[in-house]
């Protein structure tokens, strides 16, 4: 690498700019795109003109459908949907059009389109702006779903998504926006469908989704001082899901904790846990534990919101639980005293 440091948003801007420079079929569209929304489109109108950088009506249904139609005519659109909650307004386009058109047209239609959406939680933005809806789209065949966590990965995976002939939804975690990391100046891509081992370990496997990577690494560092070796896997790609990396790790450690900022029920954590329970049951020496957000709406109050999401303390407690000798087969999260947490309404099942 070059040693050059970019933050998450700068890496997004650079990925889009480079792909639009590389391929004239790549266009950018969305609400207030020309106003440099979130700092990812500065200078685009001047560089590429209004034919390729298009402001759209404030209608996610129109944005998603227009981008799909443009992709079927041979363009390669990037559609910026800003906040992830807004994509609910375009569910019919996503589920019945974008995901199904290749199948319904017997392969005559190709949809090389990227939809960007920000996970805007953790900032007292209220329930209608703070969801983490990626699990919903994991269950829709025909869509690729990614959630990169580093500047290097968001640039490389976004470039790979633009070059893919499949529709890709890129969920970008706003809690990582100011994170800096090395990003090469030369062209590169990060293949979709591959997880990354952020920290090797031997005692327990922890799979982290999206912004959960930061508290997970903090918990792993805390436990290292106690002699616990934690393998931290950054999932990065939700669909395709890198089952091989997860299963290989669990086969060595025998223990699994999954950390996911989405709501607990039908979460990415649930799918990962089911995969390991089905395909690596014989390797497990302790119960699988999920550390997630309870099934409640997100409050505006900062003090109430902060405790909902996975924290380093909760993650460390979950790891200690699966390391207990003779731990019972109970997938509930560990409480602060090391015992199973009492189920709360809308949280534990």
Catalogue all structural domains in the chain, each as residue range(s) with its CATH number.
5-182 (3.40.50.970), 196-323 (3.40.50.920)
Residues 153, 170: Cα–Cα separation, whole Å = 12
- Residue 77 and residue 15 in contact, taking contact as beta carbons nearer than 8 Å: no
Per-residue confidence at 333, pLDDT binned at 50, 70, 90?
Answer: low
Per-residue confidence at 346, pLDDT binned at 50, 70, 90?
Answer: very low
pLDDT tens-digit map of 79-138: 999 999 999 999 999 999 999 999 999 999 899 999 999 999 999 999 999 999 999 999
pLDDT at 326: 66
DSSP 132: -
- 3-class SS of residue 27: strand
Dihedrals phi, psi of 27, to nearest 5 degrees: -125, 160
- Give strand pairing partners of 230: 204
DSSP 305: H
pLDDT tens-digit map of 195-253: 999 999 999 999 999 999 999 999 999 999 999 999 999 999 999 999 999 999 999 99
Active-site pick, 129, 198, 263, 264? 129
pLDDT at 344: 37
Region 293-310 average pLDDT: 95
Q: Quick one: which H or E segment has residue 180?
A: strand 180-182
- Residue 161 and residue 171 in contact, taking contact as beta carbons nearer than 8 Å: no
Residues 111, 76: Cα–Cα separation, whole Å = 8
pLDDT at 337: 35
Closest to 168 (Cα-Cα) out of 192, 151, 195, 149: 192
- Find the angle CA(131)-CA(154)-CA(233) to the nearest 5 degrees: 75
- When comparing pLDDT for 18 and 342, which is higher? 18
- Residue 113 and residue 67 in contact, taking contact as beta carbons nearer than 8 Å: yes
Mean pLDDT score of the chain:
92
263 has catalytic annotation: no
pLDDT at 327: 58
pLDDT at 330: 44
Per-residue confidence at 288, pLDDT binned at 50, 70, 90?
Answer: very high
Residues 223, 137: Cα–Cα separation, whole Å = 34
Per-residue confidence at 3, pLDDT binned at 50, 70, 90?
Answer: confident
Region 144-155 average pLDDT: 98
pLDDT at 232: 98
- Give strand pairing partners of 232: 199, 206
């Amino acid at each position: 690498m070059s040693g050059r440091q970019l933050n998450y948003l700068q890496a997004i801007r650079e990925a889009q700019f480079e792909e639009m420079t590389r391929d004239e079929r790549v266009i950018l569209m969305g609400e207030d795109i020309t106003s440099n929304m979130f700092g990812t489109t500065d200078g685009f109108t001047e560089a590429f003109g209004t034919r390729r950088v298009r402001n759209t009506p404030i209608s996610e249904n129109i944005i998603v459908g227009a981008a799909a139609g443009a992709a079927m005519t041979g363009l390669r659109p990037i559609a910026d949907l800003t906040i992830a909650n807004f994509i609910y307004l375009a569910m019919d386009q996503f589920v019945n059009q974008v995901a199904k058109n290749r199948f319904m047209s017997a392969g005559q239609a190709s949809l090389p389109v990227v939809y960007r959406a920000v996970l805007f939680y953790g900032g007292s933005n209220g329930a209608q702006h703070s969801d983490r809806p990626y699990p919903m789209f994991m269950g829709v065949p025909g869509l690729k779903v990614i959630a990169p966590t580093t500047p290097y990965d968001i640039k490389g995976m976004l470039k790979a998504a633009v070059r893919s002939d499949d529709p890709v939804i890129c969920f970008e975690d706003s809690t990582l926006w100011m994170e800096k990391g090395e990003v090469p100046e030369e062209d590169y891509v990060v293949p979709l469908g591959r997880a990354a081992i952020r920290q090797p370990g031997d005692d327990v496997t922890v799979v982290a989704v999206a912004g959960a990577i930061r508290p997970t690494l903090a918990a792993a560092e805390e436990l290292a001082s106690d002699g616990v070796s934690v393998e931290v896997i950054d999932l990065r790609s939700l669909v395709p899901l890198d089952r091989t990396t997860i299963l290989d790790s669990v086969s060595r450690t025998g223990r699994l904790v999954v950390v996911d900022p989405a709501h607990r029920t039908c979460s990415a954590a649930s799918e990962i846990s089911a995969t390991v329970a089905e395909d690596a049951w014989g390797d497990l020496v302790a119960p699988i534990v999920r550390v997630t957000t309870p099934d409640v709406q997100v409050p505006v109050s900062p003090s109430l919101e902060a405790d909902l999401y996975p924290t380093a303390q909760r993650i460390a407690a979950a790891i200690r639980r699966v390391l207990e000798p003779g731990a019972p087969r109970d997938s509930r999260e560990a409480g602060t005293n090391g015992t199973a947490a009492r189920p709360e309404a809308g949280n534990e099942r």
